[in-house]
A and B are shown apart, each in its own frame.
Chain A
Amino acid sequence: MSDNALIINLAYVLATTLFIVGLKLLSHPSSAKKGNLVSAIGMFIAVVVTLIDQQIISYHWILAGFVIGGAYGAWKAKSVEMTSMPEMVSLFNGYGGAASLLLGWATVSGMSAITLATTDSLVFVTVFLTILIGGVTFSGSVIAWGKLSGKMSSKAFIFTGLRELSILHLIAFFVVGYLFATDPGNPMWLYVSIALALSFGIWATISIGGADMPVVIALLNSYSGVAACAAGLAVANTILIVTGLLVGASGLILTNIMCKAMNRSLMNVLLSGFAKPVEMGEAIEGEVKIMSAQDAFYVLEAAQSVLVVPGYGMAVAQAQHAVREMQSLLEENNCTVEYAIHPVAGRMPGHMNVLLAEADVPYDLLCEMDDVNPRMENYDVVIVIGANDVVNPAAKEMKGSPIYGMPVIEVYRAKTVFVLKRSANAGFAGVDNPLFFKDNTRMVLGDAKETINNIVREFGDD
């Protein structure tokens, strides 16, 4: 090993250590910001030390790429709305996959005829895997981004022959992979591999419905890491292997958490496009009790403890700042306020937490489902804002329900439940929610932000 290579490798060890320490610091909100900085320093060291590599002889192309990419990334990071974080993460997953794909491609195209002939075919297998995973990540992420941002219909796109098409892709992967690894000098197999990977990513994602997108983003997050790891194997770079796998593990754990929270297996989510629609169980009958914002205020004024259960509807109505204001007023009134967040609330893991943090809600008030369920009886009032499935008692009570068995926030066990909804009819079309008919449930109809503002105003008049 030359001195240069030794320095580079030692710096990589240091950078990897910093990534690991950074992730460790992410285990608590108070140290997380420092962890992100430590991780960024690790990245800086890794990049700078790579530039002394003797193979690099010109810097102007590198600089051009970095300036363009960096400027776009910085602009995106500054300008993105917190409600749009799922789209941004999805897009970034895609960029990561595409970067790995291009790196894999560049590895082969940079080889001379002699190198191509003498290189171990194992290298070409890893190049193929890089292109495959990178390509699927890229096209899959673009579709997920389209569905999340509303540029495409979020419905699952299903057509006859989808299953056959997928199986055909899988067979083709093996055939083309073999042909490419044994005849890497022929660029045709390379192009076919890229085309196959991109097309598979599209079909695999387009058949998954919008409600399952959180799982898909987490999984693609994982893939983008695995693609980097495969690229590391292809160019024999250990830092890519290790860090790629850290990301891969992260995405996989999140995917697993989300699947558990929906009581479904990953296979069930990925193949949801192929499943027959679940037949609805018995119809729910009962009377909905409607309450005005003013009456809701009288109940809240007397309450000692309040639990807020937000869903994506809160983000759509932009009600989080109004909710924060109501929290302050309730606290001044000697009432404790807490928030319960279901793992699949919002459109990506932890999305609700970020939106509430943006509205200045302290993170120690954000509770997980398993924390609040055992003490649900103690809450005087539970306010459900823009959430439906995650508080649906059908998951516990109705065997025929499509969500039966899913762990939910058991708000119906609280003394009183307020459900903030746009109208009494909307939302009934999907999964029927018996919560609306419970004796202790009151529906407060109207725009969520408007309703909360009305309650806040009542506090002011007092």
Chain B
Amino acid sequence: METIYLIFIVLLAAFLGFELIRKVPATLHTPLMSGSNAISGITLVGALVASGSDNDTLTTILGTAAVALASINVVGGYMVTDRMLSMFKKKQGK
């Protein structure tokens, strides 16, 4: 039962992703990629539990390293995307 639900989620998320991204214009493809970097930092959520739980030393170290790496993506990804998108300006009306 559980597995079936997961398959449903995977299938729907994949379709949703394709529909959403197809609409992103070519001019924004670089910000899209750096934004994807940020979103893929969602691994942080899983890493938090591994880092902060009552685990042996190895697991804590691995979890903490994962937290650090995912944080780079989250913080750096969103900030650089924002920096880039601020540069895109419309032509001033004459």
Contact = CB atoms under 8 A, between A and B. Distances in A.
Interface string A225-255: 1011101110101111111111111111110
Contacts of B26: 257, 341, 343, 349-350, 353, 368
A430 to B, nearest CB: 25
A82 interface: yes
B91 A96 contact: no
B72 A70 contact: yes
A229 B18 CA distance: 15
Interface of A, secondary structure class, is helix
Nearest to A59: B52
Contacts of A39: 35, 38-39, 78
A73 B45 contact: no
Contacts of A221: 33, 36-37
B75 to A, nearest CB: 4
B56 to A, nearest CB: 7
B33 to A, nearest CB: 5
A241 B9 CA distance: 8
Tell which of A85, A96, A105 has the most Cβ of chain B within 10 Å: A96
B14 A248 contact: yes
A240 B45 contact: yes
Contacts of B86: 33
A249 B43 CA distance: 17
A66 interface: yes
Contacts of A102: 47, 62-63, 65-66, 69
Contacts of A57: 52-54
Interface string A15-49: 00001101110111110110011011001001100
Interface stretch (A175-183, A294-302, A357-365, A421-429): A357-365
Contact of B83 (A77, A122, A249, A363): A77
A240 B66 CA distance: 14
Contacts of A439: none
B27 A29 contact: yes
B79 A69 contact: no
Contact of A365 (B3, B70, B91): B91
A252 B36 CA distance: 12
Interface stretch (A86-94, A275-283, A377-385, A410-418): A86-94
Contact of A110 (B13, B28, B55, B79): B55
B88 to A, nearest CB: 4
A437 interface: no
Contacts of B87: 354, 357-358, 360
A366 interface: yes
Given A89-B33, A243-B39, A248-B17, A73 B74 contact: yes
Interface of B: 3, 6, 9-10, 13-14, 16-18, 20-56, 58-60, 62-92
11 contacts: A29-B25, A29-B85, A32-B88, A89-B33, A106-B59, A246-B21, A247-B40, A249-B16, A251-B33, A251-B36, A257-B29
